[in-house]
Amino acid sequence: MSSYTKYTPSTEARTELHDRLSLTGAEISINNLPAGGCVPFVHAHKENEEIYYILSGKGSAVIEDEAVELSKGDWLMIPPASRRQLYASKEEGISYICIQVKSGSLSAYTAEDAIAY
């Protein structure tokens, strides 16, 4: 039995990886908005912060009524309670990864959590 799970995503508008990879500590999605498109609702979270990585394209996030321009290579973290909505630019689409994790849950990381063999 393998000690890993591998999945190769397609170019769907949204692919959630929690089921496809049997994730237990994070929700990760791959998102593709066409030019002029947007996430169809404003939302916030009860517990999860969201971390976005822009894979390609341009767009913006409106966070608590403030527009933040986004382009390839940008990282963005939004705390749980902040209202947000993402938009692709009118000229080109935007592709991004969104990682959701429970805010304040990280207790150890990198070398602190590693076991050297």
Domain ranges in the chain? 26-103
3-state secondary structure of 20: helix
Residue 107, pLDDT above cutoff 80? yes
Average the pLDDT over 71-90 and give the result.
98
Q: Which homologous superfamily is 26-103 in? A: Jelly Rolls (2.60.120.10)
Residue 105 burial (CB < 10 Å; 0-12/13-18/19+)? Answer: exposed
pLDDT value for 1: 65
Ramachandran sector of residue 57 (left: φ over 0; alpha: ψ -120 to 50; beta: rest): left
Residue 69, pLDDT above cutoff 90? yes
Average the pLDDT over 90-116 and give the result.
93
